[in-house]
Each structure stands twice: as C-alpha cells, then as structure tokens.
C-alpha cells in the first residue's frame, strides 16, 4: 500500500493531500475539502478507511493552500468561488493521471457541502475523465450554472434528519436528467439516496457506515466488469 502526504500543483499554488493506494486498487477517489469539510476530520478519515478496505485508492485534497488557509476562513459566510476551486480539482485529476500508481485507474469525485458543487463543476469540464461524482450532504445548487453540462453519473446522498436539503438535491438531480434527455444521449444514471438516520453532518457512525456502503455500491456499478 502506498500512503503519503503529497503536494499537488494547481492554479500556481501547492495543495496538500493525503494519498493512499492499496495494492490492487480498482479506482481512485478524489475527495475535496477546505470549505465545509476538512481532510483531517475523523468522519472523513473513517470514510477514507472504508474506501481503502473496499479496494479503492484515495486522494483527500485541501482546495486551499496553507497560506490561504491561514489568511482566511472561507467557511465563515464568505462566497465560495466554485469556478476557481473547480479548476483546482481539475488540476488534481491531471495530477492523478500523471502518477504511476493511479494513471490507469478510473477517477471518482467525492465531496460534501460546497465542495460537492466544486466536484460537479470539475465533472462538467471533464466528461470523459471522471467515472462518477458522489455528493454526500452536498450543496449542488451552488453549481447551478454548470448542471446543464454534467454528463457524468452522479449519486446524491442526503441525510434523512436534514429534510431542508432534500428539495434542492432532488431539483438538481431532475435537472441533470432533463439535460441528458435534451442532449439525446444514452442516459447515465443519477440517483438520490437517503440515509434516514443521518443528520446534515453524518455524525452518527452507523449513518456514516451506510453512506460509505452506498458509495461503494455505486462505484462498483460504474466500474467495467471483469
């Protein structure tokens, strides 16, 4: 198993990430952090551990440089520059495709909160280089202007104890479905799954385990057979 703290060049900056690739990995999951989630949070690390045990590599990436993080707290009411952060996530996909251990692996974008909107933005720019996007407790409405360009399958996981988030997520999923139909393309699956016991933060360990299970099942369904 490869396990290292890495420096990923993006947008003329260096972004820090935790890079883990189990032997025989079947895909690599790129998770974005720094706005509403932290790569060092115990629940994020628990999710990464579940993914490793399922045979997936992970790159948990801070979307802000250490200097930016010291200068400001983007989560405290400041607008989220989804376009800028999306470019950084695209650069991280480029970085993964340049690494010996992950260049041949399908890439999954995985994010919560505002970072989920960033992942959708990056997926819109990389229709042929991202296997799927998984948004857990995400805010897809922040990516409203690019939803029409998303051609990548998306799984939206929401908490049943956070009912106010469900309408926005379902609206985004419906718009993605309509976009595929208008484009006259083979429909790629999009789904909204609810973890009934989960709050907005997925703090309950059982709810977190269920979210990890849903993510694993979704990725497995997207991977080529054999």
Q: What is the pLDDT of residue 28?
A: 98
Q: What is the pLDDT of residue 180?
A: 43
d(CA 156, CA 39): 20
> What architecture is the 2-222 domain classified under in CATH?
3-Layer(aba) Sandwich (3.40)
What are the residue boundaries of the structural domains of the chain, listed by start?
Answer: 2-222
Q: What is the pLDDT of residue 177?
A: 60
Q: What is the pLDDT of residue 198?
A: 60
User: For tokens 């972004």, what's the residue?
Assistant: 15
Q: What is the pLDDT of residue 179?
A: 42
Structure tokens at 13: 């900056």
Q: Is 77 left (phi over 0), alpha (psi -120 to 50) or beta?
A: left
Question: Consecutive 10-residue runs of the chain (226 residues): their mean pLDDT?
Answer: 93 94 97 87 88 96 88 62 95 97 97 92 94 88 85 83 65 58 44 70 71 92 84
Q: What is the pLDDT of residue 224?
A: 85
d(CA 122, CA 57): 19
pTM across the whole model = 0.85
């Amino acid at each position: 198993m490869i396990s290292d703290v890495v420096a990923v060049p993006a947008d003329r900056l260096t972004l820090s990430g935790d890079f883990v690739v189990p032997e025989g990995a079947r895909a690599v999951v790129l998770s974005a952090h720094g706005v509403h989630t932290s790569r060092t949070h115990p629940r994020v690390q628990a999710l990464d551990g579940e993914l490793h045990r399922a045979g997936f590599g992970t790159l948990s990436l801070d979307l802000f440089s250490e200097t930016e993080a010291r200068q400001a707290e983007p989560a405290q009411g400041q607008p989220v520059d989804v376009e800028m952060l999306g470019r950084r996530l695209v650069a991280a996909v480029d970085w993964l495709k340049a690494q010996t251990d992950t260049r041949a692996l399908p890439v999954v974008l995985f994010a919560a909160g505002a970072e989920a909107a960033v992942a959708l933005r990056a997926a819109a720019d990389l229709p042929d280089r991202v296997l799927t996007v998984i948004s857990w407790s995400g805010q897809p409405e922040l990516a409203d202007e690019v939803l029409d360009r998303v051609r990548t399958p998306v799984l939206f996981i929401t908490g049943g104890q956070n009912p106010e988030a469900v309408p926005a997520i379902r609206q985004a999923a419906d718009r993605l479905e309509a976009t595929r139909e208008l484009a006259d393309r083979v429909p790629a699956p999009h789904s909204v799954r609810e973890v009934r016991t989960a709050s907005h933060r997925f703090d309950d360990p059982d709810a977190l385990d269920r979210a990890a299970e849903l993510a694993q099942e979704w990725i497995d369904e997207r991977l080529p057979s054999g």
